[in-house]
């Protein structure tokens, strides 16, 4: 199996329609042992979603912006496994006043929150897990991205944060390569998850994908994205790092829509 024997940390599971939940499902189906992370009011939702996975799994408390939480997770993993082979970073958040066409009026504090939680947190997770991945002899880190090479009508400061996330991916790849740690991002098309539905005007993105992607995009199916994450977490991508891999039906490669 693709992930036989891998010990993986999966962040970002809220419900069983999330990309991270499907990554967790596929990882288990491919032989990995996993733990999930969550915190606050979402913790109970994550525990409920965890019960729907093929095998029971523990949920560790992790608010990525709380150093004590990261330390506690690392201590748990050290005693549980002694080493970690990889992790999915599926953490993003922007206050409502940083989204929905409010770009010019967004206060700096909201933009900072979006950056710290959605981009800087990839570095936080990587550095926190670094001793455990070194103990495994190397591994793979993957984050979830959304194409930000263009300005979107509604994405605003989250788009800026995602641009930063891509840059963080490249710099982590630069600095962690010597430890045989690969660092990549998966840029997914719009998917109808709880997180996506919280973005004002999300339906306009779905309509754009239906018109423009060469392969017809299904916003209700996270499986193709999750499969790519699983591939990047596996040993089959041993020389792939610093990449942003698009799983978007080819939308990013086509200049204009063509479907009626």
Which residues are designated catalytic?
155, 162
Strands 86-89 and 139-145 come out as parallel
Rama region for 12: left / alpha / beta (φ>0; ψ in -120 to 50; rest):
left
What crossing angle do the helices spanning 156-176 and 121-135 adopt, rounded to 10°?
Answer: 30
Q: What are the start-end ranges of the H helices in the chain? A: 19-29, 42-50, 67-80, 108-115, 121-135, 156-176, 194-197, 202-212, 223-233
Element counts in the chain: helices (H) and strands (E): 9, 7
């Amino acid at each position: 199996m693709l992930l036989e024997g891998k010990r993986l940390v999966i962040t970002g599971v809220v419900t069983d329609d999330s990309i991270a939940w499907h990554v967790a499902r596929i990882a288990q189906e491919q032989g990995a042992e996993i733990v999930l992370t969550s915190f606050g009011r979402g913790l109970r939702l994550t525990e409920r979603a965890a019960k729907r996975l093929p095998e029971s799994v523990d949920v560790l408390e992790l608010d990525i912006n709380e150093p004590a939480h990261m330390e506690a997770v690392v201590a748990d993993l050290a005693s549980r496994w002694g080493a970690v082979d990889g992790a999915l970073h599926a953490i993003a958040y922007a206050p409502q006043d940083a989204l929905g066409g409010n770009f010019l009026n967004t206060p700096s504090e909201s933009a900072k929150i979006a950056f710290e939680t959605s981009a800087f947190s990839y570095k936080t997770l990587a550095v926190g897990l670094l001793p455990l991945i070194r103990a495994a002899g190397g591994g793979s880190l993957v984050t979830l991205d959304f194409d930000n090479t263009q300005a979107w009508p509604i994405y605003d400061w989250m788009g800026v944060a995602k641009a930063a996330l891509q840059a963080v991916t490249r710099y982590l790849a630069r600095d962690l390569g010597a430890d045989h740690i690969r660092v990549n991002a998966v840029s997914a098309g719009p998917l109808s998850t709880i997180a996506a539905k919280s973005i004002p005007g999300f339906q306009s993105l779905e309509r754009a994908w239906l018109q423009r992607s060469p392969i017809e995009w299904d916003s209700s199916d996270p499986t193709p994205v999750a499969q790519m994450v699983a591939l990047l977490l596996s040993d089959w991508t041993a020389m792939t790092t610093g990449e942003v891999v698009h799983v978007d039906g080819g939308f990013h490669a086509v200049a204009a829509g063509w479907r009626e």
